[in-house]
Amino acid sequence: MKQLLYGFFFCLFTFNTSAQQKINRPKLVVGIVVDQMRWDFIYRFYERYKTNGGLKRILREGFTCENTLIPYMPSVTACGHSCIFSGSVPAISGITGNAWWDRQQMRSVYCTEDKSVNTLGSSSRNGQQSPRNLLVTTICDELRLATNFRSKVIGIALKDRGGILSAGHSANAAYWYDNTTGNWITSSYYMNELPGWVKQFNDEKWVDKYYAQGWNPLYPVSTYHQSTADEKPYEGKPFGNKFPYDLKSFIGKDYGKIATTPMGNSLTFEFSKRAVKEENLGKDDFTDFLTVSFSSTDYIGHTFGPNSVEAEDGMLRFDAELGEFMDYLDKIVGKNQYTLFLTADHGVAHIPEFNLENKLPGGRVFFGKLTNDLNKKLEEKFNMKSLILSDDNYQIHLNHHALDSARIGKKEVADFIIRELLKEQGIDRAFLIEEVNLIHLPETLRKSLNNGYHPARSGDIQIILKPGFMDAIGNYGTTHGLWNPYDTHIPLLWYGWGIKKGFTHREVYMTDIAPTVAALLKIQEPNGCIGKVIYEVIK
């Protein structure tokens, strides 16, 4: 009898000890990236966000890092997504832009291109993508490693780079949008066949349904007081002149236009909900990770500018749908059973003509024309064609093979180019990148440039524009990519399991997101991570 009792209590003690020693983690982590969302958008449109919408709910119940900065240049989509989820910078991750000049291949390389894989879900080549150009792990990879690959990771975005670079190398899947077919696709890097639920979703023809509805403002246009008047001449006009927009003519014909409407984000929300349900995310003992990037804010911002009625309407709709998405997660995964963070990959500059009409400095620098003119001048001076190969990422890439063959010194050519560049009104500085630590620069800017430099993928001459100026290819719309606060001050909101309620104005960085998630989950930080834990966030 004593032996039986001893055995019973031993088993009970062992069970309790085991239960007590189990590492507490959320059922699901949801990493949301709003493509081209400046920090000030949180408060600029605050009064019109819904009380039960996503942003006010997070601000009310979660934690916000009010002074989160991007610590590198160029501040573009690929660099942002890779940094958020790896805690690394282009100098280490190798993702130095959406594309970069490859000296060995003598061509521009897209950040996620991979000709060794095939498209799944379409007959186009838009699925020939993978994370192989990313040189580091992501927090999603580290979660997979920590659970011996029993955690499930899925990345979703209209943009291929938004889904792929977030989810990392070992993801179960990454899905992106094929603008030639209106389908969600992936590549053979992840699987051999598109899942049945994705095929079913594609068969439902969501894009045609959105086109049939058109883009109508959430509220009367006259009430959009935080925006400029509609129909500004410096705004793009992909749908005609006057808002609202009738989109019926695109049904079955042009599947790319949806991205430049709020319905591109709606499509992403619907696909994400389906993924949570069909992949059973958050349903077992191992934490899963869903990354979702909302690309339409970027397309809208580039086309119409951050001060447009269209941009305001896009943010108000995003907020409302974010609230619905969080309600869905509460129902499917469980309230306070998931951790969610929301940030942005970059901000955006005001349209230069908007600046000028409001007596603010600004202008356009047409890099393409500038480079062509420089190559003509270089040919006249050095009797060699195409000495400049690329002006990607605010950098000039020189033709080293031609220079070596002709025995022309790089410094001589670079000095000539720099003198010519500095004649351009909008260019503030131009210098050899290898001399970045020798010239007079504010430390913040020097750090940004060093963090963005990768010797195998960066150029020879760095260009810095004056504040308010931007690289342009046309006379409408705007862009991003520089070190200025309008491009690099981003939101960072935390919500749910393990998150304190509150805020901090302490300066933190995009690189701090991944190590904070790692600390929350009690796993190793990614292998190229240089960030630090934002300790105020965690309970």
pLDDT tens figures, 257-283: 999 999 999 999 999 999 999 999 999
- pTM value is 0.95
Spell out the domain ranges in the chain. Answer: 28-356+484-537, 363-466
Q: Please name the helix (run of DSSP H) or strand (run of DSSP E) that holds residue 378, with its range, or none.
A: helix 367-382
Q: Does domain 363-466 have CATH number 3.40.50.970?
A: no
**First-last CA distance in the chain:** 46
- pLDDT band at 358; cut points 50, 70, 90: very high
Sequence-ordered strand ranges (E) for 126-282: 153-157, 173-178, 183-187
- Least confident piece of the model among 186-190, 348-352, 403-407: 403-407
Residue 16 corresponds to which tokens in the numbers above? 């309790």
**pLDDT at position 406:** 82
478 annotated active-site? no
3-state helix, strand, coil in the chain (%, to 5): 40, 20, 40
pLDDT tens figures, 302-323: 999 999 999 999 999 999 999 9
pLDDT tens figures, 120-176: 999 999 999 999 999 999 999 999 999 999 999 999 999 999 999 999 999 999 999
**pLDDT at position 508:** 98
Q: Which of 24, 28, 23, 144 is nearest to 495 (CA)?
A: 28
Which CATH number fits the domain 28-356+484-537, given the four candidates 3.90.1150.10, 3.40.1280.10, 2.170.150.20, 3.40.720.10? 3.40.720.10
- Asked if 78 and 369 count as a contact pair (C-beta separation under 8 A), the reply is no
Considering the chain, what is the average pLDDT of its residues? Answer: 95
The catalytic position among 14, 17, 64, 77 is 77
- Strands of the 502-504 sheet, one edge to the other: 119-120, 183-187, 173-178, 153-157, 288-294, 28-34, 338-343, 492-496, 63-65, 502-504
